[in-house]
Amino acid sequence: MTVHTEIRGGVLIVTIDRPEVKNAIDTATAQAIADAMDQLDREPELVASVLTGAGGTFCAGMDLKAFLAGERPSIDGRGFAGIAQTPPVKPVIAAVEGHAIAGGFEIVLACDLVVASETAVFGLPEVKRGLLAGGGGLLRLPERVPYALGLEWALTGDLVTAEQAREAGLISRLTPKGDALGVAVGLAERIAKNGPLAVRGTKEIWTRARDWSNDERFERMWEIYEPIRSSEDAREGATAFREKRAPVWKGR
């Protein structure tokens, strides 16, 4: 298997497991990640996910040998690596050790939060090969870091250290070597304790609001807000607070 999954509480942990090729993405791996993201979206008991790589490396991008053999590391509907074009509707945290470059960086940018160790290295080096970062990196990087800084990274193709990425605001947690997965899972478990409808709605508003005009933003927000406000979970949250107990979510 090129991808392993584990469920811990309401968290789906997804590990790319091809360390012999620095977790590069071939068709089978892309399909396995897409299947995991479909599982995350489909199963109501899952609230969040952590995506990581085995062997001290996150992902080195597309498997060039597989590409030259005619493979396509993209999945219809989900895009490169089964996530880059259409991420799941629930939050995904990237847990990064070592290199996350080219398509690997584009996978990171498709995730909602980034936890990285001090060993992490990021970059879009495609221009050095006469190519473009076609897996969404050129679309998402300007949304995640200051415009001019991200453009410099993309135009030079230079690698970026974890400290530089943190200073740019890309990383939410920086950890010692080997600790990225544990910290990311802990963060995901904190998220998973909250109301699943509220978590999903929060991500939806946060990611879609950038496309809303000033005139429509509150109206569009309320379209998402009202069904959640009227849900059983919202009532349960208020009741649990009043009764000083932990809420029991039903996802409806």
Ramachandran category for residue 218: left, alpha or beta (phi over 0 → left; psi -120 to 50 → alpha): alpha
Q: Of 20, 97, 126, 232, which one is the catalytic site residue?
A: 126
Q: pTM of this prediction?
A: 0.94
DSSP E strands in the chain: the ranges are: 3-8, 11-16, 48-53, 74-75, 79-80, 92-96, 99-101, 113-117, 121-123, 160-161, 173-175
Do 145 and 170 form a contact (C-beta atoms < 8 A)? yes
Joined together, the tokens standing for residue 76 give: 């219809």
Given this model, what pLDDT does residue 64 score? Answer: 84
In the residue annotation, 118 being an active-site residue is answered as no
Residue 70 is predicted with a pLDDT of 87
Amino acid at 133: A
pLDDT-derived band at 72 (thresholds 50, 70, 90) equals confident
Task: Tell me the pLDDT of the chain averaged across its residues.
Answer: 95
Average pLDDT over residues 103-112: 98
Catalytic residue status for 232: no
- Calculate the alpha carbon distances from 180 to 24, 89, 96, 124, 177 in Å: 19, 23, 6, 21, 7
Which listed residue (71, 97, 106, 216) is catalytic?
A: 106
The pLDDT, as a whole number, for residue 65 is 86
Q: How many CA atoms lie within 13 A of 135 on its CB side?
A: 30
Task: Quickly list H helices, 145-231.
Answer: 147-156, 162-167, 180-192, 196-208, 217-229
As a whole number of Å, the end-to-end CA separation of the chain is 35
State the Rg of the chain over Cα. Answer: 19
- Cα angle 62, 81, 154; round to 5: 60
Rounded to 10°, the helix 196-208/232-243 angle is: 120
pLDDT in tens, 1-54: 899 999 998 999 999 999 999 999 999 999 999 999 999 999 999 999 999 999
* Rounded CA separation 100/22 (Å): 10
- How would you classify the pairing of strands 113-117 and 92-96? parallel
Mean pLDDT score, 92-105: 97
